[in-house]
């Protein structure tokens, strides 16, 4: 991989919880993102994986400045993006784009495909001349595997997979360097998921893109990600090269997610070593003390409740936030 293009350090996003109708008061905070740090290198795909409610989508929104951060920093090529305003922020948008999760609601139903894909050219008027925009939109549709003849159609005339291709074409229109993919295949059929994933891989190789790929299923990002960060209740609990994460997971939560990956052979679905987590993800308003995963962890001891584990290398050459990362045994069903 190349040099770091995006550097995230101790990023925090808390949402206030208020009570009262006329005179509201803050009674707590939803700790959606609570101290996340990582970097993204040129040409790299970083997968962010975790259950629903762990803060993945909020992380994406803060990185794109769709939500203001509570604290922390995000640097794009060494410059603090949270200090950008006006025209400088507009120019940053050219280099950082997002593909949203739901292809059925992320496209304006009243706009044609040509208007949707061409909208970035209207906002950034100096990128493509007016008389060239239609041709450029048709070119972008061809790049993502759609016919240029579809330029006058509306979103409801396409399937879910085709709509997501339209969303990818819109994100790619300005030739960005970083694309954040916020669960782009979770609403699609399995066969369509594979097609979209293959398309993203081809586009990365062709245009030298860097991806942050968010998903709740570790199997989805396995063949696309160079590195994987596992997120739980607002924090990254394990981070490392994809091979290390899949072959030598050290955090109990990562082990549980991997054990839940579907197996094609029905005779092996109840295979030994299958980990069934008890209970739901705790409330981000009042997370457990110490290790946030301890309330569902079979390895938890007194130290887990007393001390929050740091994300550091303990074993297997990649960092993990677990006091018992060196213990290899797992619990079967």
Instruction: Tell how far CA 104 is from the center of its chain.
Output: 19
**Neighbouring-strand partners of residue 210:** 178
Angle between helices 113-123 and 133-143 (to 10 degrees): 120
Average pLDDT over residues 113-128: 91
The model's pLDDT over 138-193, given as tens digits with 9 standing for 90+, comes to 999 999 999 999 999 999 999 999 999 999 999 999 999 999 999 998 878 888 88
Instruction: Tell how far CA 242 is from the center of its chain.
Output: 15
Helices (H), the chain: 56-63, 86-95, 113-123, 133-143, 160-172, 190-207, 218-221, 242-247, 252-259, 302-306
Residue 191's pLDDT is: 83
Residue 86's pLDDT is: 85
Q: How many CB atoms lie within 10 A of CB 93?
A: 17
Model confidence at 135, pLDDT cuts 50, 70, 90, reads: very high
Rounded to the nearest integer, the mean pLDDT of the chain is 89
**Neighbouring-strand partners of residue 180:** 98, 212
Residues 6+ apart with CB under 8 A from 200: 168, 181, 184, 211, 213, 224
Residue 58's pLDDT is: 95
Burial 121-156 (b: 16+ CB within 10 A, else e): beeeeebbeeeebeebbbebbebbbbeeebbebbbe
| Percent share of the chain, pLDDT over 90 | 66
Residues 6+ apart with CB under 8 A from 120: 127, 170, 173, 174
The token duo for 262 is 């579907």
The token duo for 296 is 């569902």
Average pLDDT over residues 20-35: 89
Rounded to two decimals, the pTM is 0.90
Cβ distance 250 to 328 under 8 Å? Answer: no
Instruction: Name the one residue in this structure whose structure tokens are 């940053």.
Output: 92
Domains of the chain: 4-320 (3.40.50.300)
């Amino acid at each position: 991989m190349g040099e770091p293009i995006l550097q995230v350090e101790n990023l925090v996003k808390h949402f206030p919880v208020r009570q009262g109708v006329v005179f509201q008061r803050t009674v707590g905070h939803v700790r959606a993102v609570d101290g996340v740090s990582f970097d993204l290198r040129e040409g790299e795909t970083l997968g962010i994986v975790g259950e629903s409610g762990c803060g993945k989508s909020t992380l994406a929104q803060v990185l794109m400045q769709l939500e203001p951060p509570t604290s922390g920093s995000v640097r794009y090529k060494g410059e603090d993006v949270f200090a950008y305003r006006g025209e400088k922020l507009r120019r940053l948008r050219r280099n950082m784009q997002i593909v949203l999760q739901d292809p059925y609601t992320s496209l304006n139903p009243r706009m044609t495909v040509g208007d949707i894909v061409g909208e970035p050219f209207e906002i950034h008027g100096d990128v493509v001349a007016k008389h060239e925009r239609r041709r450029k939109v048709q070119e972008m549709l061809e790049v993502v595997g759609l016919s240029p003849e579809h330029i006058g159609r509306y979103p409801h005339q396409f399937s879910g997979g085709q709509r997501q291709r339209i969303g990818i074409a819109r994100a790619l229109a300005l030739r960005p360097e970083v694309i954040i993919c916020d669960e782009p295949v979770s609403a699609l059929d399995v066969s369509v998921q594979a097609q979209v994933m293959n398309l993203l891989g081809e586009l990365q190789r062709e245009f030298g893109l860097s991806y942050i790929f968010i998903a709740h299923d570790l199997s989805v990002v396995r063949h696309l990600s160079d590195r994987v960060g596992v997120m739980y209740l607002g924090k990254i609990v394990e981070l490392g090269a994809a091979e290390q994460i899949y072959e030598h997971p050290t955090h109990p939560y990562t082990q549980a997610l991997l054990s839940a990956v579907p197996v094609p052979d029905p005779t092996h679905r109840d295979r030994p070593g299958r980990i069934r987590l008890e209970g739901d993800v705790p409330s981000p308003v009042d997370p457990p003390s110490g290790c946030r995963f301890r309330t569902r962890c079979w390895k938890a001891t007194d130290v887990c409740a007393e001390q929050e584990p740091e994300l550091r290398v303990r074993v297997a050459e990649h960092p993990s936030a677990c006091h018992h990362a060196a213990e290899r045994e797992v619990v079967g069903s």
